[in-house]
Structure 1
Amino acid sequence: MMQRKFLLAALLVSGVVLYLAGCSKQSEDKLAGSTIPCDTLNVSYSQQIVPILQSICYNCHGQGNTAGSGGINLSTYTALKVYADNGYLVGNVTHAPGYVGMPYGLPKLPDCEIFTFVAWVNQGAKNN
């Protein structure tokens, strides 16, 4: 009986330690493959938004690639700003209820990229 209590207590303590070690921000970044911190303090359209668009969105929503994407072209600041202002950009990239999750048919973007889009919109979606 005493050994059973000791074993249970040891398992409980071990579980708590493993849980706390596994939930650190550093572990989360490693699991996500991120080696750079997610900086959303002053998001720049040209430095942060355009690279995400180029690597992920322009395949379907770039110049000349919009036939299968409802004709939505996000290759210019002016075009993207429309979707930033009407809420569709954030709704789509966060997979919010009532919106078509983007990228279509694929998993959500990494959290940092989602946070970057949301921060850019919340900061006024500036052309900077």
Structure 2
Amino acid sequence: MKKIIITGMIIASGMALLFSCNKGSEDVLKASTTCDTTAVSFSTQIVPILQNNCYRCHGSGNTGSGAGILLEGYSNVKTWVDNNYLVNVVKGSSGYILMPFGGPKMSDCNVNTIAAWVNQGAKNN
């Protein structure tokens, strides 16, 4: 009798879990994983992307690799935005070496966020 009750509870729990994953919860999951590029901020969105993907070679503490390109600080980044270099290397455009060099390609969201920030005027915000 005890085994039947436990088995019934397990089945009921599984059914509750199964039916709780409905269209509404799917929409919440999709909303939390979307890439919002409507109003990109340098300090809250671009800097963390650069820190996580670029500073290993292009941060101020790096003295070896990086080809002398510093991407720490707005004015340094803006130099590479103004010559169209930053967007082209993160996109891997023809004629440019895909960055980060030797690492995995940035996520589409990170690439799109950088491109959107540039298209929005590359503001120091």
TM range (shorter): 0.7 to 0.9
Tell me the distance in 2 between the aligned counterparts of 1:90 and 1:40: 15
Look up the equivalent residue of 1:46 and give its one-letter code. Answer: S
**Higher Rg:** 2
Matched, 1:50 2:47: yes
2:67 is aligned, of 67, 70, 74, to 70
Inter-partner Cα distance in structure 1 for 2:89 and 2:67: 14
Is 1:112 the equivalent of 2:95? no
Distance 1:84 1:50 in 2: 14
Please, what is the CA RMSD of the aligned residues? 1.9
Rounded to whole Å, the distance in 2 between the matches of 1:101 and 1:66 is 21
Structure of greater relative contact order (alpha carbons < 8 Å, 6+ residues apart): 2
**Per-residue Cα deviation, 1:3-56 (whole angstroms, up to 9, x for no partner):** xxxxxxxxxxxxxxxxxxxxxxx8xx98xxx94310000000001000111111
Q: What SS does structure 2 have at the residue aligned with 1:43? A: coil
Aligned match of 1:102: 99
Shift of 1:106: 2.3
Unaligned runs of 5+ in 1: 1-25
- Tell me the CA shift for residue 96 of structure 1: 0.4
Question: Which letter maps to 2:97?
Answer: V
The count of residues paired between Structure 1 and Structure 2 equals 98
5+ unaligned residues in a row in structure 2: which ranges?
Answer: 1-25
Identity %: 54
Q: Aligned match of 1:123 in 102, 120, 123?
A: 120
Length-normalised TM-score, structure 1: 0.71
